[in-house]
Amino acid sequence: MNKRERVLAALNNEEVDYVPGCFWRHFPPEQSHGEIFIREQIKFYRDMDLDFLKISCDGYFGWPEKTLINLESARQLYGMKPIGKDHPFIREQVERAKAIVRELKGECCIFYTMFCPLSYLRLEVGWDKMMECMREDPDAVRYACDVIAEDVCSLVEGLLEEAGCDGVFYSVQNAEITRFTYDEYRSWVTPSDKKVLAQANTPGHYTILHCCGWDADEAGTTNRMEVWKDYESAAVSWAMYVDHLDPVQIREFFGGRAAWGGFDNRRCGVLYRGDKEAIEEETRRIIALGGKKGFILGPDCSLPDDIDPEHIKWVLETARRCI
């Protein structure tokens, strides 16, 4: 199997010769735009010899709609309008994805990272303002998310149809058990998520649902995972060490779809702190749990900037020996 065949087989719940893996990190501000981002993203893929590439959306956090600048009250959100498919925020991301796809020439599968609409709003206005608006007028926030979703759909279309990505890595957030009830989340947040997912889940493309798990001071606030249970995707990326579900349990929870994860991304975890022997042992343990069908090795979330790159290589090298 080559890299593409192996990853597509895993996503389709088919047997693979060895379990593929992909890890990711954020890039610093000085590397988050233009040609330098493209160069650094490809360099990371090649240096680590990843089985596929998840392109970061670094440099494009937040949402560039003028209503959100100095937002004072929830009612202002009703004034939001789509930024349009030709806005630089969308075009620049499509163009850089296109450049990376072109450079790698079909060598591997490529997925582009994006946030759910509520997270784009939150990244622009902050946690406190988001929650203040939710309590003041949840319908206004739902309206804002619907507007953002329209533009995110344009981004998805550009990434899949124009840039040639194999799919999107769709990060859902804001579902901590301390934040919303099940009914609140499903009423206020889910509609915009499903609008984007309908655009992403087109024939021939693979959506990765990233159930992002926060980790405040390595405490880990668990997510209300059931709010995402019916979100359509080819695979699920999840925070095993925050939401306490192993590869078998997460696949069961999501109806048997493929799972991507298994490694604690935190500085307290084996991947960050362990020596070669410990990391190799952990890799074998995770592969034994996940199996060689419908499973991909990866982290709960982004790796710390200062992780030793050799640690990632040890995981992938060990996986390739587990044939």
The secondary structure of the chain, three-state, reads CCHHHHHHHHHCCCECCCCCECCCECCCHHHCCHHHHHHHHHHHHHHHCCCCEEECCCCCCCCCCHHHCCCCCHHHHHHCCCCCCCCHHHHHHHHHHHHHHHHHCCCCCEEEEEECHHHHHHHHHCHHHHHHHHHHCHHHHHHHHHHHHHHHHHHHHHHHHHHCCCEEEEEECCCECCCCCHHHHHHHCHHHHHHHHHHHCCCCCCCEEEECCCCHHHCCCCECHHHHCCCCCCEEEECHHHHCCCHHHHHHHCCCCEEEEEECCCCCCHHHHCCHHHHHHHHHHHHHHHCCECEEEEECCCECCCCCHHHHHHHHHHHHHCC
Average pLDDT of the segment spanning 264-281: 97
Asked if pLDDT for residue 249 goes beyond 90, the answer is yes
Model confidence, pTM: 0.97
Return the C-alpha torsion angle 269, 275, 279, 281, nearest 10.
-120
For the stretch 212-238, pLDDT in tens is 997 655 556 899 999 999 999 999 999
Residue whose entry in the numeric block shows the structure tokens 């296109």:
98
**Which amino acid is located at 257 in the chain?**
R
Cβ(287)–Cβ(249) below 8 Å:
no
Average pLDDT of the segment spanning 147-156: 99
Average pLDDT of the segment spanning 103-126: 98
Q: What is the pLDDT of residue 221?
A: 84
**Mean pLDDT, rounded, of the chain:** 97
Average pLDDT of the segment spanning 283-289: 98
53 vs 3, 38, 175, 195, 253, CA distance in Å? 11, 12, 27, 25, 26
Cβ(62)–Cβ(32) below 8 Å:
no
Q: What is the pLDDT of residue 248?
A: 97
**Which amino acid is located at 192 in the chain?**
S
Asked if pLDDT for residue 316 goes beyond 90, the answer is yes
How many CA atoms within 13 Å lie on the side-chain side of 262? Answer: 28
For the stretch 38-84, pLDDT in tens is 999 999 999 999 999 999 999 999 999 999 999 999 999 999 999 99
Cβ(58)–Cβ(26) below 8 Å:
yes
Asked if pLDDT for residue 159 goes beyond 80, the answer is yes
Q: What is the CA radius of gyration of the chain?
A: 19
CATH code of the domain made up of 3-321: 3.20.20.210
Q: What is the pLDDT of residue 220?
A: 63
Q: What is the pLDDT of residue 43?
A: 98
- pLDDT more than 70, % of the chain: 98
Asked if pLDDT for residue 305 goes beyond 60, the answer is yes
In the chain, where are the structural domains located? Answer: 3-321
